[in-house]
Amino acid sequence: MGAMIDTSDVVKEWLVVEGTGLHTLVGTHVATPVAPAGFNDTDMSAAAAIVFHPASEQVHPTAVDKNDNIYVFKCYGGSSKYSDARAVFRALVDRLHGVTGGETASGRIERSDLISGQMGPPEPGTTRPVHISQFQIMITGET
């Protein structure tokens, strides 16, 4: 039995890999569990970004390094256009939906599936449109 892992680290490492369509849009502007300080209309208005957190975490009964979690992702396009937020969401789906065997330094994404996605109202304190989605992601500590 392995050691418990920080599954958010695994997901973040998978999302910021260079050379992907998602990286082209957001670069390393991926945060968890909350947006960084200064994430508002003035500091990051030109930067597309993703903020995510686990909505539920379930550890496998026989292996603490195997998790089947549901994550919430908020996609921001870096402008006041909903189409830009949706473009980040589509790139997230391309990168994360249907992954099997995604290796990172911290662990492995065994399976990842989109559960839902929808446009949301602008975040409080900002005029940024947001596209919200949920994924079910199974992660192990084995690489």
pLDDT tens across 50-86, in order? Answer: 999 999 877 776 766 788 899 999 999 888 889 999 9
Domains of the chain: 7-35+46-140 (3.30.2000)
Residue 104's CB: how many other CB atoms inside 10 A?
18
CB 109 within 8 A of CB 139: yes
Longest alpha-carbon distance in the chain: 48
**Residue 115, C-beta contacts closer than 8 angstroms, at least 6 positions apart:** 70, 133, 134, 135, 136
pLDDT bracket for residue 40 (50, 70, 90): low
Element (H, E) at 116: strand 108-120
Rounded to an integer, what distance in angstroms lies between the CA atom of residue 126 and that of residue 85?
A: 14
d(CA 17, CA 96) in angstroms, rounded, equals: 12
Whole-model pTM: value is 0.89
User: Rounded to whole angstroms, how far apart are CA atoms 128 and 140?
Assistant: 34
| Residue 105, SS3 per DSSP | coil
